[in-house]
Chains A and B, each alone.
Chain A
Amino acid sequence: MRFYEFEARKIVELAGIPVTKYGFCTSAEEARKVAEEIGGPVVIKSQVLSGGRMKAGGVKFADTPDEAARHAEEILELEINGHMPRGVLVDPKAEVKQEYYASVVWDGTAKKPLMLFSDMGGIDIEEVAETHPDHVGKGHVSNLLPISDFEAKQVVAATGVTGSQLNRATPVLARLARLFRDNDMTLAEINPLAELTDGSFVALDAHMEMENEAVGRQKKLLRKELQIAEDDTRETYEPSDFEKNVGAIDAADHRGVIQGKDHGFTGNLGLVIGAGGGSLTLTDAVRNQGGQPANYSEIGGNPSVAKACGLAKEVLEKDGVEKIAVMMSIVSNTRVDIVARGVIKACLELGKDPGETIAIFRIPGAWEEEGFKILDKYGVETCDRSVSMWEAAGRAVAKIQGAPA
């Protein structure tokens, strides 16, 4: 789950990391008020979940509250990369002496959070790591033991930073690591962490991402502190109707799991496929043999007839779908006969002939004998486990293209 900059600032502030005296505003008047309170030059920043704000004109400087209000007015109406802003951040224009970088990410190989720090902040950290590796400090923290400040101190010191800067940067990085763990983040980044002319350190920009699986247990942060509504999920893209419908069918019935995606798919062959790994493999197999999938899907677990039917119907009702291929890797707890009933019913309920509409049915495994009885009755072409997933996909493609199978 992604956070807006104004939310990320709040998160680091709650963790005890110094931030500026910013204000989050949703109107020009609010922006004017905040600018007056700040009493000096300010920066107005669009609050969108997109990069490239500066380039798009979403970041402007203002010397007076009037100017701040005018910029805020414009930016509040400015669409950036398809996103409309939630509001604007009004920030005191900082007197920066030096910019640093601090972040915490997951190291999947070490299976521990990794702290990163650089005295070359403000720019792309991957670039810095490549061109100036001795300016990037790294260090893991334990998942179990409390995080002690010295662990962060070592990481900062590795970049050569010393003196009072070391002593100010250390608690920032340590607190960032603690908040990463406590709040189930997958990314906690402050860039730049600015050293101001008066020697203080502040987070000038912050970027946070929380693991979706943990959202349910971070209610205090999300609902109380940040006041984010439960249905405000900030997905990277807007789900299509197909995706939403399949999601609704899945949510309404706890038996088994279905998922559908069609972003980027425009073909004529609907795919009712599973499970996870099988779906990926089969989608590749269809495409690599010249087929044009209309969608991606996953069916798995122990689905009901209704759920299998629901998915198949949604796929069949997509624009341009002529036939569906029903294929899975060998199944252990998904019942072949139940899925067979579901996909055949979908055809019948839409007034379509199952034998014509289902290009191929390839699901070996539990209750397959019973499944074959049903499929044979309705004239559906089937494959058993001796036909590979690749071959089954190829037959489906051949069928829909009209070539002899």
Chain B
Amino acid sequence: MAEQLTKVFIDVEVDDSIAGDAVIAAKLEEVCPVDIFKDADGSVEIVDGNCDECVLCKLCIEAAPAGTVHVKKLYDGTELN
């Protein structure tokens, strides 16, 4: 019947360089108010189902080294910075 779509409006990715960083994984999970990031045993896991809830707060971008977290607005092709 009706499907549940994910990442229609927002796509979130992290660079490989930080994907395995346990400190950053824990921090990202803590700061995101809509649970897009999960600390999966020290690795950064993106919860696809929550990406569209992104409130564009930039707390994830501020929690990681510059340019390693990518929040993409699929509706206008730009990236949050």
Residues on A lying within 8 angstroms of B by beta carbon are: 304-306, 313, 317, 335, 338, 341, 344-345, 348-351, 370, 373-374, 377-378
Contacts and interface: CB of A to CB of B under 8 A. Distances in A.
Secondary structure type dominating chain B contacts: loop
Contact of B9 (A306, A317, A349, A374): A374
Contacts of A378: 75
Contact of A370 (B3, B8, B56): B56
Most buried by A among B4, B8, B34: B8
Secondary structure type dominating chain A contacts: helix
A317 B3 CA distance: 13
A313 B5 CA distance: 13
B2 interface: yes
Given A348-B8, A349-B2, A374 B75 contact: yes
Contacts of B73: 373
Contacts of B3: 349
Given A305-B52, A306-B53, A373 B75 contact: yes
Interface residues of B, number: 14
B2 A350 contact: yes
Given A348-B8, A374-B9, A377-B76, A341 B52 contact: yes
Contacts, number: 35
A377 B52 CA distance: 16
A112 B44 CA distance: 59
Contacts of A377: 75-76
Nearest to A335: B55
A373 B75 CA distance: 7
Contacts of B34: 304
Contacts of B55: 335, 338
A313 B2 CA distance: 9
A377 B73 CA distance: 11
A306 B9 CA distance: 13
Contacts of A350: 2
29 contacts: A304-B34, A304-B53, A305-B9, A305-B53, A306-B53, A313-B2, A317-B2, A338-B55, A341-B9, A341-B52, A344-B8, A345-B5, A345-B8, A345-B52, A348-B5, A348-B8, A349-B2, A349-B3, A349-B4, A349-B5, A350-B2, A370-B56, A373-B73, A373-B75, A374-B9, A374-B75, A377-B75, A377-B76, A378-B75
Most buried by A among B3, B4, B34, B52: B52
Chain A to chain B: the 7 pairs with minimum beta-carbon distance, closest first: A377-B75, A374-B75, A341-B9, A373-B76, A349-B2, A305-B52, A305-B53
Nearest to A337: B56
Interface string B33-53: 010000000000000000011
Interface in B45-81: 52-53, 55-56, 73, 75-76
Nearest to A374: B75
Given A304-B34, A345-B5, A350-B2, 20 more contacts: A304-B53, A305-B9, A305-B52, A305-B53, A313-B2, A335-B55, A341-B8, A341-B9, A341-B52, A345-B8, A345-B52, A348-B5, A349-B3, A351-B2, A370-B56, A373-B75, A373-B76, A374-B9, A374-B75, A378-B75
